[in-house]
Homo-oligomer: A and B are copies of this chain.
Amino acid sequence: MFTLDLSLGDRSYPIYIGQELLDRSDLFERHITSQQVMVITNETIAPLYLDRLVTKLGKFDVTSVVLSDGEEFKTLDTVSLIFDELLRNRFSRNCTLIALGGGVIGDIVGFAAACYQRGVAFIQVPTTLLAQVDSSVGGKTGVNHPRGKNMIGAFYQPKCVISDTNVFETLDDRQFSAGLAEVIKYGLIRDDEFFEWLEVNIVALMQREPSALAYAIQRSCLNKAEVVAEDELESGIRAILNLGHTFGHAIESGVGYGKILHGEAVAIGTCQAADLSCRLGLLKTTEMQRIETIFEQASLPTMPPYEMETKQYLDLMAVDKKNIDGKIHLILLTKLGSAKLPCSVALNQLEATLNEYGRN
């Protein structure tokens, strides 16, 4: 087991990464200080891991909640449903929630934990590659609004993250590739050595070779933990983790939540950000090509599923969280392994990129 500590003063917590961690009662018991425990998962994960986890929590009074699966259920209504269950079962403020699932479950449950009785303890048990390398780490929680992704939420840290790498045995190829989009992102924004390692090892990763996979997860979490420790509430550097996300969120909203995976949208959005970086003379065309190549090798899309109109992109991007007084701000790349803080760009340059990937 590899343990990584996320340093956030009195909100610090460990991230455990390793094999068969779902069976490690001791890890759960170390971080649960209540009798009341609610495990929240979805209908896809429940048949695979719910009973196994609940059995290991024999010391506690466990209630389980199984939600529908999919980004389209990442709404305030679903959070409200969790509140109903918590109150129906008279859960006290000292209770613990466990998020067993991918990024959608982690975001929903984290937000429910942040708001129930003004904050209760929660534990992240991510079951997808994307959740293990990105969304379970760093305390971003929240839900979508029809007008914008992740528009409602909280910064709220878990008590720990327990990442069992054996869960990949049941992860489908599309979900696995989606996770690689965020892995590749860390290389692009701040770790050129890791990006080069990924170029060499992408085939091994796609074959889910255990040692390559373990290394990629650990190095991704390390990158994420360093950035979050420096800027928990995203008042500065943390924004670079959003490379490709402004475009990506617009695509997710535009095509409809649940019709494209978050990681897929991020891959496309990263290509768009790279394209714009090239247009602005920040990035070389050869570097842009290396980005497209590695996404293709990871079976990720580099073009949107259909041609969204430039106007629709601009409308959707107008509510991004990095915007200032309503003006679009984007993360751009200056080379492989280095990103700029959010900046506004000339509208005609942005439109040129959007026209390239859609239609005007």
Residues of B within 8 A of A117 (CB): 151, 153, 321
Do the beta carbons of B80 and A118 come within 8 Å of each other?
no
Interface check A92, CB cutoff 8 A: yes
Given contacts A116-B151, A117-B151, A152-B116, contact A90 B34 (CB under 8 A): no
Q: Is the CB of A119 within 8 A of B83?
A: no
Is the CB–CB distance between B321 and A154 below 8 Å? no
| B119 A154 Cβ-Cβ under 8 A | yes
Q: Which residues of B contact A322 (CB under 8 A)?
A: 93
Q: Which residue from B87, B140, B147 sits with its C-beta under 8 Å from A148?
A: B87
Closest to A325 in B: B35
In the complex, whether A319 has a CB less than 8 A from a CB of chain B is: yes
Shortest Cβ distance from A316 into chain B, in angstroms?
Answer: 11
State whether B155 touches A118 (Cβ < 8 A).
yes
Do A118 and B87 contact each other (CB < 8 Å), given the known contacts A93-B321, A321-B93, A325-B35? no
Q: Which residues of B contact A325 (CB under 8 A)?
A: 34-36, 92, 94-95
- Would you call B151 and A90 a contact (CB within 8 A)? no
Within 8 A of B (CB), among A295-337: 318-319, 321-327
Q: Across the interface, name the chain B residue whose C-beta is closest to A93.
A: B321
Instruction: Give A162 Cβ to nearest chain B Cβ, in Å.
Output: 23
> Contacts A87-B147, A147-B87: A118 and B321 contacting too (C-beta < 8 A)?
yes
Q: Which of A87, A92, A119, A324 lies at the interface centre, i.e. has the most chain B CB atoms within 10 A of its CB?
A: A92
In the bound complex, residues from chain B placing their C-beta under 8 Å from that of A153 are: 115, 117-118
Asked if residues B154 and A93 are in contact (CB atoms below 8 Å), the reply is no
- Give the contacts of A61-90 with B (CB-CB under 8 A): 76, 80, 83-84, 87-88, 90
Q: Name the B residues within 8 Å of A324 (CB-CB).
A: 92-94
The distance from the CB of A25 to the nearest CB of chain B, in whole angstroms, is 20
Verify B90–A326 contact, CB threshold 8 A: yes
Contacts A93-B323, A324-B94: A147 and B76 contacting too (C-beta < 8 A)?
A: no
Q: Indicate which residue in B36, B83, B115 contacts A326 across the interface (CB closer than 8 Å).
A: B36
Q: Tell me if A233 is interfacial: C-beta within 8 Å of chain B.
A: yes
A114: CB under 8 A from chain B? yes
Q: Does any Cβ of B come within 8 Å of A142's Cβ? A: yes
- Sample of 16 further A-B pairs with CB below 8 A, known A92-B325, A115-B142, A118-B140: A36-B326, A76-B76, A76-B80, A84-B147, A90-B319, A90-B326, A91-B326, A92-B323, A92-B324, A93-B323, A114-B154, A115-B115, A115-B153, A118-B150, A119-B155, A119-B233
Question: What are the 8 closest A-B residue pairs judged by CB atoms, nearest first?
Answer: A87-B147, A35-B325, A92-B323, A118-B153, A117-B321, A93-B321, A90-B326, A90-B318
